[in-house]
Amino acid sequence: MRAVGYFVEGARRNGAKRSIGDQNRAYLDFCRQQGFEVAATFVDTDETESEESGFRQMLAFLHRADRGFTVVAVDGLGALGSDLGKAALKLLTIESTGVQVVSASTGRETAKELLTTWADRGTGTPVSERVKSAMRRKAVKGEVLGRPPYGYRVGPRQRLELVPEETVVVRYIFRLYLQEAMGIRRIAGQLNEEGITTRRGGKWSMVSVRDLLRNRAYLGTYTRFGVKVPGSHPALISPEDFRRVQERLQSRGGGAMERKVVPFLLSGLLYCGRCGNKLIGVSRKQKWTTKDGSEHNSAYRYYQCESRTNQSSCGYNTQRAAELEARLRTMLAEDTTAVSRVRRAGNVDSYVLDLMGQVDRVESRMKRTRRQVEDLVADAAHGHITLERMRSLGSELANEQQGLEGEMAEARARLAAQQSEAERRRHLEETRLKLVRDWESLDFEALQAGLREVVDRVEIDGEDAKLFLRP
């Protein structure tokens, strides 16, 4: 059997910092005692996980087909992270390759040491468990956590209390849906026509109306963190009416049927030339019977003004998806028809802002994945799930995290490419020509990423179309 060593400069064991030399000697002693063949060693000077880091190189080595029967030996949990959350994620990432991680100092499975340390609340244990526990205790009392639903506000005792002007709107929406038999699109349009705004002063959409109709808070039951407190605040809707609304929502396609969502290539790039709102992808299915009795069905894909789709406003501005996508390819090839539009906020180009936003969103998803890992390890440490179950679920989360780190690296690389103006312009022109040349051969993700990099926006008004390239 072969053993791989992984060392981190200054990693702590039993509270004391350990040099690379100390960790290497412990690793070699472990190999001699256990009869392992020294396969390779990988070193990091800090916890940074760049593409060139020792940790990344080790993962690439472990994914090789010729690695043989291998274990990874570490000096202790401190070599995997400065706190138990980081250590857990690194541990699960390594073990997702099918390799077990052991402690060079004790010979024990590092996963078992992690659970023991977690259960003992050792130094560096993330505070997320204690925070969630405190929040659950508040939820049990019916105390509000987070933003109150429309129709309510947080009262002096941290309980929900009614907002009179909003409760009228809530009951009005339920009445329109249940008694007037109006669909959620028509309800959104009705509210907007009557000048009734959302809490933030915006327009109602299909999503906001649907979410309101599904909210169980209107039954007087507070639900958070899996805790349900009936009668914690005044109800706005009777249980019978709420049940009938949910049945109607499900009968109209809101049930548990799994839908296959096919993304639209130009999502986020198209804008209505009439109202300025975005055009969104819309799918329609149609069935018909011919005179000979045979049944036929077909699916249609459009880009349609969001104001019309979700708020029942604006005019009929609808484009067949395939035709508009082909039209954009032609416009990209005829670059003389395209114009550049400079949009700046605080002297920062909008595309750079988009990239910064993408980095922030990926970071948020990475933090959420780490919290899920911490919850998983906590469940295993307290005996709620088995170690093997933790490994199985943790492997999925670790792989998800690896994918997110890849997205992060790509977004940061695109952001770095914006530093040189001349280089950026040259890169955009090369990307435009590549899109035109390889449109048919590029996969969907690569084609969409390229379009978002080159195209600032496309304004559509019936037969008129204006293409704005990024400056």
Distance CA 267, CA 376 (A): 35
The residue among 235, 254, 273 that closes a domain is 254
Domain co-membership, 369 together with 464 = yes
Give the pLDDT of residue 256. Answer: 43
Residue 326: partners with Cβ closer than 8 Å, 6 or more residues away: none
Q: Check whether 163 has a pLDDT greater than 60.
A: yes
Domain co-membership, 357 together with 463 = yes
Instruction: Tell me, rounded to whole angstroms, the distance of Cα 115 from its chain centroid.
Output: 28
CATH number at residue 180: 3.90.1750.20
- Is residue 378 one of the residues assigned to a domain? yes
- H or E stretch at 328: helix 321-333
Phi/psi at 58 (5° precision): -65, -40
| 3-state SS assignment for residue 137 | helix
Beta strands 464-469; 339-340: pairing state:
parallel
Domain co-membership, 366 together with 458 = yes
The amino acid at residue 83 is: D
Domain co-membership, 365 together with 452 = yes
Q: For the sheet containing 270-272, what is the strand order?
A: 270-272, 455-461, 464-469, 339-340
Domain co-membership, 64 together with 18 = yes
- Is residue 302 one of the residues assigned to a domain? no
Domain co-membership, 392 together with 458 = yes
Domain co-membership, 54 together with 142 = no
Q: Check whether 308 has a pLDDT greater than 80.
A: no
Distances (CA, A) of 291 to 286, 287, 422, 433, 469: 17, 14, 64, 49, 50
Domain co-membership, 149 together with 105 = no
- Is residue 109 one of the residues assigned to a domain? yes
Buried b (16+ CB within 10 A) or exposed e, 202-222: ebbbbebbbebbebebbbbbb
- Is residue 290 one of the residues assigned to a domain? no
Give the pLDDT of residue 255. Answer: 43
Highest mean pLDDT out of 57-61, 123-127, 282-286, 332-336:
57-61
Give the pLDDT of residue 348. Answer: 45
**CB-based contact 108:102 (threshold 8 Å):** yes
> What does the pLDDT average to over 361-388?
89
Q: Check whether 300 has a pLDDT greater than 80.
A: yes
Share of the chain above pLDDT 70, in %: 83
Distance CA 388, CA 393 (A): 9
- H or E stretch at 384: none
CATH number at residue 9: 3.40.50.1390
Higher pLDDT: 141 or 183? It is 183
Tokens encoding 275: 């109202």
The residue among 225, 254, 283 that closes a domain is 254
**CB-based contact 223:216 (threshold 8 Å):** yes
- H or E stretch at 334: none
**CB-based contact 205:199 (threshold 8 Å):** no
Higher pLDDT: 285 or 468? It is 468
Give the pLDDT of residue 1. Answer: 85
**CB-based contact 449:262 (threshold 8 Å):** no
- Is residue 306 one of the residues assigned to a domain? no
Lowest mean pLDDT among 110-114, 160-164, 186-190, 250-254: 250-254
Domain co-membership, 115 together with 11 = yes
Q: Check whether 102 has a pLDDT greater than 70.
A: yes
- Is residue 246 one of the residues assigned to a domain? yes
User: How many folded domains does the chain comprise?
Assistant: 3
Domain co-membership, 82 together with 145 = no
Q: Check whether 28 has a pLDDT greater than 60.
A: yes
Average pLDDT, whole number, for the chain?
83
Domain membership of residue 413 as a residue range = 339-469
- Is residue 24 one of the residues assigned to a domain? yes
pLDDT band at 418 (very low <50, low <70, confident <90, very high): low
pLDDT band at 194 (very low <50, low <70, confident <90, very high): very high
Lowest mean pLDDT among 11-20, 90-99, 123-132, 272-281: 123-132
pLDDT band at 119 (very low <50, low <70, confident <90, very high): confident
Domain co-membership, 357 together with 464 = yes
Distance CA 36, CA 99 (A): 14
> What does the pLDDT average to over 211-216?
92
Domain co-membership, 250 together with 159 = yes
The residue among 233, 254, 275 that closes a domain is 254
- Is residue 107 one of the residues assigned to a domain? yes
Higher pLDDT: 434 or 136? It is 434
Q: Check whether 267 has a pLDDT greater than 80.
A: yes
Neighbours of 145 (CB within 10 A): 15
Cα 88–94–99 angle (5° rounding)?
A: 125
